[in-house]
Amino acid sequence: MTKPILSIDIGGTHLRFASIDDSGHILKKETYAHATLSRDDFFKDLDQKINQWISAHTCRAVAMALPIVMDEKMGVVYDAPNLPFLRGQNIYQRFSSLKVPWVLENDANCAALGEAWLGHGKEIDSFCFLTLGTGVGGGLILNRKLWKGVRGMACEIGHIKIDFSNQFPCSCGDYGCLEAFASSSALQKRTGITSKDLYEKAKKEDPEALALFKEMGKKLGRGIASVSNLLNIECFILGGRLSGAFPYFYPSAIDMAKHSSMKGPAEHLEILQSQLGDDAGMLGAAYRYLIL
Ligand SMILES: [Zn+2]
Protein backbone atom coordinates (compact mmCIF):
# COMPACT_ATOMS: atom_id res chain seq x y z
CA MET A 1 0.00 0.00 0.00
CA THR A 2 1.28 3.49 -0.87
CA LYS A 3 2.28 5.43 2.21
CA PRO A 4 0.15 8.50 2.98
CA ILE A 5 1.16 12.16 2.82
CA LEU A 6 1.47 14.23 5.98
CA SER A 7 -0.50 17.38 5.25
CA ILE A 8 -0.22 20.39 7.57
CA ASP A 9 -2.40 23.49 7.64
CA ILE A 10 -0.41 26.14 9.49
CA GLY A 11 -2.75 28.84 10.80
CA GLY A 12 -2.36 31.91 12.97
CA THR A 13 -3.29 30.07 16.17
CA HIS A 14 -3.18 26.35 15.36
CA LEU A 15 -1.36 23.62 13.46
CA ARG A 16 -3.59 21.02 11.84
CA PHE A 17 -1.93 17.71 10.92
CA ALA A 18 -3.45 14.93 8.80
CA SER A 19 -2.38 11.73 7.07
CA ILE A 20 -4.03 11.72 3.64
CA ASP A 21 -3.99 8.95 1.04
CA ASP A 22 -3.74 9.43 -2.73
CA SER A 23 -7.54 9.37 -3.11
CA GLY A 24 -8.05 12.20 -0.63
CA HIS A 25 -9.17 10.12 2.35
CA ILE A 26 -8.15 11.61 5.69
CA LEU A 27 -6.77 8.65 7.65
CA LYS A 28 -5.98 10.55 10.84
CA LYS A 29 -5.98 14.17 11.93
CA GLU A 30 -5.00 16.25 14.95
CA THR A 31 -5.09 19.93 15.87
CA TYR A 32 -2.41 21.53 18.05
CA ALA A 33 -2.31 25.05 19.45
CA HIS A 34 1.01 26.76 18.65
CA ALA A 35 3.42 25.94 21.49
CA THR A 36 5.24 29.20 20.88
CA LEU A 37 5.30 32.14 18.51
CA SER A 38 9.00 32.88 18.88
CA ARG A 39 10.53 32.30 15.45
CA ASP A 40 13.24 29.76 16.24
CA ASP A 41 11.18 27.81 18.76
CA PHE A 42 8.26 27.76 16.33
CA PHE A 43 10.36 25.93 13.72
CA LYS A 44 11.92 23.65 16.35
CA ASP A 45 8.46 22.66 17.61
CA LEU A 46 7.17 22.16 14.04
CA ASP A 47 10.20 20.02 13.08
CA GLN A 48 9.72 17.87 16.16
CA LYS A 49 6.01 17.32 15.49
CA ILE A 50 6.68 16.51 11.81
CA ASN A 51 9.37 13.94 12.65
CA GLN A 52 7.21 12.30 15.33
CA TRP A 53 4.20 12.12 13.00
CA ILE A 54 6.22 10.69 10.09
CA SER A 55 7.66 7.94 12.32
CA ALA A 56 4.33 7.10 13.94
CA HIS A 57 2.26 7.10 10.72
CA THR A 58 4.93 6.20 8.11
CA CYS A 59 4.24 9.13 5.77
CA ARG A 60 6.21 9.45 2.53
CA ALA A 61 6.10 13.25 2.14
CA VAL A 62 5.11 16.50 3.84
CA ALA A 63 2.76 19.05 2.23
CA MET A 64 2.22 22.38 3.98
CA ALA A 65 -0.37 25.16 3.59
CA LEU A 66 0.90 28.45 5.01
CA PRO A 67 -0.76 31.85 5.49
CA ILE A 68 2.00 33.70 3.66
CA VAL A 69 2.64 35.75 0.56
CA MET A 70 5.91 34.36 -0.76
CA ASP A 71 8.24 34.90 -3.68
CA GLU A 72 8.12 31.36 -4.96
CA LYS A 73 11.37 31.60 -6.92
CA MET A 74 13.43 32.76 -3.95
CA GLY A 75 11.44 31.28 -1.06
CA VAL A 76 11.33 34.66 0.71
CA VAL A 77 8.21 35.56 2.71
CA TYR A 78 6.91 39.02 1.80
CA ASP A 79 3.98 39.09 4.15
CA ALA A 80 2.40 36.94 6.86
CA PRO A 81 -0.26 38.98 8.71
CA ASN A 82 -1.19 36.09 11.03
CA LEU A 83 2.40 34.91 11.68
CA PRO A 84 4.36 38.18 11.38
CA PHE A 85 7.66 36.65 12.56
CA LEU A 86 7.85 34.78 9.23
CA ARG A 87 8.23 38.03 7.29
CA GLY A 88 11.60 38.24 5.52
CA GLN A 89 12.43 34.58 6.26
CA ASN A 90 13.74 32.25 3.58
CA ILE A 91 11.16 29.58 4.16
CA TYR A 92 12.86 27.02 1.87
CA GLN A 93 15.99 27.10 4.04
CA ARG A 94 13.87 26.65 7.16
CA PHE A 95 12.57 23.30 5.92
CA SER A 96 15.74 22.11 4.19
CA SER A 97 16.55 19.61 6.97
CA LEU A 98 13.35 17.57 6.46
CA LYS A 99 14.25 13.99 5.58
CA VAL A 100 11.33 13.32 3.21
CA PRO A 101 10.19 15.19 0.07
CA TRP A 102 8.14 18.29 0.90
CA VAL A 103 6.14 21.07 -0.72
CA LEU A 104 4.61 24.25 0.62
CA GLU A 105 1.97 26.54 -0.79
CA ASN A 106 -0.09 29.57 0.16
CA ASP A 107 -3.11 28.45 2.20
CA ALA A 108 -5.78 30.00 -0.04
CA ASN A 109 -4.16 28.38 -3.08
CA CYS A 110 -4.30 25.07 -1.20
CA ALA A 111 -8.00 25.56 -0.40
CA ALA A 112 -8.66 26.22 -4.11
CA LEU A 113 -6.75 23.05 -5.04
CA GLY A 114 -8.69 21.06 -2.44
CA GLU A 115 -11.94 22.31 -3.94
CA ALA A 116 -10.72 21.46 -7.46
CA TRP A 117 -9.79 17.93 -6.36
CA LEU A 118 -12.70 16.92 -4.13
CA GLY A 119 -15.29 19.72 -3.96
CA HIS A 120 -17.49 21.68 -6.37
CA GLY A 121 -14.41 22.11 -8.56
CA LYS A 122 -14.68 18.51 -9.77
CA GLU A 123 -17.40 19.77 -12.12
CA ILE A 124 -16.04 23.28 -12.78
CA ASP A 125 -12.96 24.01 -14.90
CA SER A 126 -12.37 27.65 -13.91
CA PHE A 127 -13.27 29.26 -10.61
CA CYS A 128 -12.05 31.60 -7.92
CA PHE A 129 -11.93 30.38 -4.31
CA LEU A 130 -12.26 32.99 -1.57
CA THR A 131 -11.33 32.26 2.03
CA LEU A 132 -13.37 34.46 4.34
CA GLY A 133 -11.61 34.33 7.70
CA THR A 134 -9.58 36.77 9.77
CA GLY A 135 -8.55 38.14 6.36
CA VAL A 136 -9.75 37.46 2.82
CA GLY A 137 -7.56 35.18 0.68
CA GLY A 138 -8.00 33.92 -2.84
CA GLY A 139 -6.95 31.06 -5.11
CA LEU A 140 -7.61 30.98 -8.83
CA ILE A 141 -8.15 27.80 -10.86
CA LEU A 142 -8.08 28.42 -14.62
CA ASN A 143 -8.75 25.50 -16.95
CA ARG A 144 -8.20 23.11 -14.00
CA LYS A 145 -4.78 24.56 -13.14
CA LEU A 146 -3.78 26.83 -10.28
CA TRP A 147 -2.88 30.27 -11.61
CA LYS A 148 -0.01 31.54 -9.49
CA GLY A 149 1.26 34.60 -11.33
CA VAL A 150 4.88 35.28 -12.20
CA ARG A 151 6.31 34.68 -8.71
CA GLY A 152 3.52 32.78 -6.99
CA MET A 153 1.69 35.76 -5.51
CA ALA A 154 -1.45 35.95 -7.68
CA CYS A 155 -5.06 36.34 -6.55
CA GLU A 156 -4.76 38.59 -3.51
CA ILE A 157 -8.45 39.25 -3.99
CA GLY A 158 -8.83 40.56 -0.43
CA HIS A 159 -6.97 43.68 -1.50
CA ILE A 160 -8.91 44.74 -4.56
CA LYS A 161 -10.39 48.19 -3.91
CA ILE A 162 -14.13 48.51 -3.47
CA ASP A 163 -14.39 51.76 -1.48
CA PHE A 164 -12.62 55.07 -2.08
CA SER A 165 -13.69 57.11 0.94
CA ASN A 166 -10.35 56.52 2.75
CA GLN A 167 -12.31 55.61 5.89
CA PHE A 168 -11.80 51.87 6.03
CA PRO A 169 -8.21 50.80 6.78
CA CYS A 170 -7.01 47.35 5.72
CA SER A 171 -4.35 45.07 7.26
CA CYS A 172 -2.18 45.73 4.16
CA GLY A 173 -1.79 49.40 5.10
CA ASP A 174 -4.11 50.74 2.39
CA TYR A 175 -7.81 51.68 2.60
CA GLY A 176 -11.03 50.39 1.10
CA CYS A 177 -9.93 46.80 0.31
CA LEU A 178 -12.46 43.96 0.19
CA GLU A 179 -10.83 42.55 3.34
CA ALA A 180 -11.79 45.73 5.23
CA PHE A 181 -15.45 44.71 4.78
CA ALA A 182 -15.76 40.95 4.25
CA SER A 183 -13.49 39.46 6.95
CA SER A 184 -14.22 38.44 10.53
CA SER A 185 -11.69 41.01 11.77
CA ALA A 186 -13.52 43.79 9.88
CA LEU A 187 -16.91 42.75 11.27
CA GLN A 188 -15.51 42.59 14.79
CA LYS A 189 -13.90 46.02 14.43
CA ARG A 190 -17.19 47.51 13.28
CA THR A 191 -19.46 45.87 15.86
CA GLY A 192 -17.23 45.08 18.84
CA ILE A 193 -18.41 41.46 18.85
CA THR A 194 -16.98 38.36 17.19
CA SER A 195 -18.30 37.18 13.83
CA LYS A 196 -19.36 33.95 15.59
CA ASP A 197 -21.58 35.93 17.99
CA LEU A 198 -22.87 37.97 15.07
CA TYR A 199 -23.77 34.74 13.27
CA GLU A 200 -25.61 33.48 16.36
CA LYS A 201 -27.56 36.77 16.46
CA ALA A 202 -28.42 36.48 12.77
CA LYS A 203 -29.78 32.97 13.41
CA LYS A 204 -32.17 34.53 15.93
CA GLU A 205 -33.16 37.10 13.28
CA ASP A 206 -31.56 40.04 15.09
CA PRO A 207 -32.19 42.94 12.65
CA GLU A 208 -28.81 44.59 13.25
CA ALA A 209 -26.87 41.38 12.59
CA LEU A 210 -28.95 40.63 9.48
CA ALA A 211 -28.32 44.16 8.17
CA LEU A 212 -24.56 43.80 8.73
CA PHE A 213 -24.37 40.54 6.79
CA LYS A 214 -26.51 42.07 4.04
CA GLU A 215 -24.09 45.00 3.78
CA MET A 216 -21.11 42.63 3.82
CA GLY A 217 -22.73 40.66 0.96
CA LYS A 218 -23.04 43.83 -1.12
CA LYS A 219 -19.34 44.62 -0.72
CA LEU A 220 -18.41 41.03 -1.49
CA GLY A 221 -20.62 41.13 -4.59
CA ARG A 222 -18.89 44.27 -5.77
CA GLY A 223 -15.46 42.64 -5.43
CA ILE A 224 -16.67 39.49 -7.17
CA ALA A 225 -18.07 41.57 -10.05
CA SER A 226 -14.65 43.14 -10.70
CA VAL A 227 -13.01 39.72 -10.93
CA SER A 228 -15.88 38.37 -13.03
CA ASN A 229 -15.56 41.24 -15.50
CA LEU A 230 -11.84 40.62 -15.75
CA LEU A 231 -11.85 36.82 -16.08
CA ASN A 232 -15.36 35.70 -17.10
CA ILE A 233 -14.97 32.59 -14.92
CA GLU A 234 -17.93 30.35 -14.16
CA CYS A 235 -18.03 30.42 -10.44
CA PHE A 236 -16.87 31.85 -7.11
CA ILE A 237 -16.60 29.40 -4.23
CA LEU A 238 -16.54 30.70 -0.67
CA GLY A 239 -14.78 28.95 2.21
CA GLY A 240 -13.23 29.93 5.55
CA ARG A 241 -14.94 30.37 8.91
CA LEU A 242 -17.09 33.33 7.90
CA SER A 243 -18.56 31.38 4.96
CA GLY A 244 -20.71 29.61 7.59
CA ALA A 245 -22.90 32.75 7.48
CA PHE A 246 -23.45 32.15 3.73
CA PRO A 247 -27.29 32.12 3.92
CA TYR A 248 -27.24 35.62 5.43
CA PHE A 249 -24.95 37.37 2.96
CA TYR A 250 -25.50 35.30 -0.21
CA PRO A 251 -28.70 37.04 -1.44
CA SER A 252 -27.17 40.54 -1.40
CA ALA A 253 -23.82 39.21 -2.70
CA ILE A 254 -25.27 37.54 -5.80
CA ASP A 255 -27.58 40.52 -6.47
CA MET A 256 -24.71 42.99 -6.33
CA ALA A 257 -22.33 40.69 -8.25
CA LYS A 258 -24.80 40.37 -11.12
CA HIS A 259 -25.78 44.05 -10.98
CA SER A 260 -22.15 45.26 -11.08
CA SER A 261 -20.89 42.75 -13.67
CA MET A 262 -21.14 43.34 -17.40
CA LYS A 263 -24.29 41.75 -18.81
CA GLY A 264 -22.42 38.87 -20.51
CA PRO A 265 -20.34 37.57 -17.57
CA ALA A 266 -23.29 38.22 -15.19
CA GLU A 267 -25.57 35.82 -17.00
CA HIS A 268 -23.87 32.61 -15.82
CA LEU A 269 -22.26 33.96 -12.66
CA GLU A 270 -22.58 31.65 -9.66
CA ILE A 271 -21.51 31.93 -6.02
CA LEU A 272 -21.31 28.68 -4.04
CA GLN A 273 -20.36 27.69 -0.49
CA SER A 274 -17.44 25.25 -0.18
CA GLN A 275 -18.37 21.83 1.16
CA LEU A 276 -14.91 20.86 2.42
CA GLY A 277 -15.00 23.04 5.55
CA ASP A 278 -11.79 23.29 7.56
CA ASP A 279 -10.21 20.40 5.65
CA ALA A 280 -9.95 22.22 2.29
CA GLY A 281 -6.43 23.53 2.96
CA MET A 282 -5.01 20.19 4.14
CA LEU A 283 -6.59 18.29 1.26
CA GLY A 284 -5.35 20.87 -1.23
CA ALA A 285 -1.80 20.75 0.15
CA ALA A 286 -1.77 16.96 -0.35
CA TYR A 287 -3.08 17.43 -3.90
CA ARG A 288 -0.38 20.03 -4.53
CA TYR A 289 2.19 17.34 -3.71
CA LEU A 290 0.46 14.75 -5.91
CA ILE A 291 0.34 16.99 -9.01
CA LEU A 292 3.99 18.07 -8.73
ZN1 LIG B 1 -5.67 45.57 1.72
Each residue's pLDDT tens digit, 126-160: 999 999 988 899 999 999 999 988 887 888 899 99
CATH class of 5-110+279-290: alpha beta
Separation CA 124–CA 95 (nearest Å): 34
What is the pLDDT confidence band of residue 76, given thresholds at 50, 70 and 90?
Answer: very high
CA 160 – ligand 1 centroid, Å? 7
* C-alpha angle 74-77-82 in degrees, rounded to nearest 5: 160
* Interface predicted TM-score (ipTM): 0.99
Q: Does position 19 have pLDDT exceeding 90, yes or no?
A: yes
Determine the Cα–Cα distance for residues 111 and 155; give it in Å rounded to an integer.
13
Provide the 10 A C-beta neighbour count for residue 198: 25
- Say if CB 289 and CB 63 are below 8 A apart: yes
- In sequence order, the 6+-apart residues with CB closer than 8 A to the CB of 14 are 31, 32, 33, 34
State the distance from the centre of ligand 1 to the C-alpha of 59, rounded, in angstroms. Answer: 38
**For residue 267, what pLDDT band results from cuts at 50, 70 and 90?**
confident
Distances (CA, A) of 227 to 124, 164, 231: 17, 18, 6
How many A from CA of 185 to the centre of ligand 1?
13
Determine the distance separating the centroid of ligand 1 and the alpha carbon of 175, expressed in angstroms.
7
The percentage of the chain sitting over the pLDDT mark of 90, rounded to a whole number, equals 73
**Domain limits, the chain:** 5-110+279-290, 125-274
Label residue 271 by pLDDT band (50, 70, 90).
very high
Tell me if domain 5-110+279-290 and domain 125-274 are identical in fold.
Answer: yes
Distance, in Å, from the CA atom of 150 to the CA atom of 251, rounded to the nearest integer, reads: 35
Closest to 255 measured CA to CA, from 237, 273, 269:
269
pLDDT digits (tens, 9 = 90+) for 179-199: 999 999 999 998 999 999 999
Tell me if 22 sits within 8 A of 2, measured CB to CB: yes
HEC letters along 219-252:
HHHHHHHHHHHHHCCCEEEEECHHHHHHHHHHHH
Residue 202's pLDDT is what? Answer: 96
Q: Give the distance (Å) from ligand 1 centre to CA of residue 96.
A: 32
Q: Which CATH class is domain 125-274?
A: alpha beta
Whole-number Cα distances in Å, 67 to 45, 109, 208? 18, 10, 32
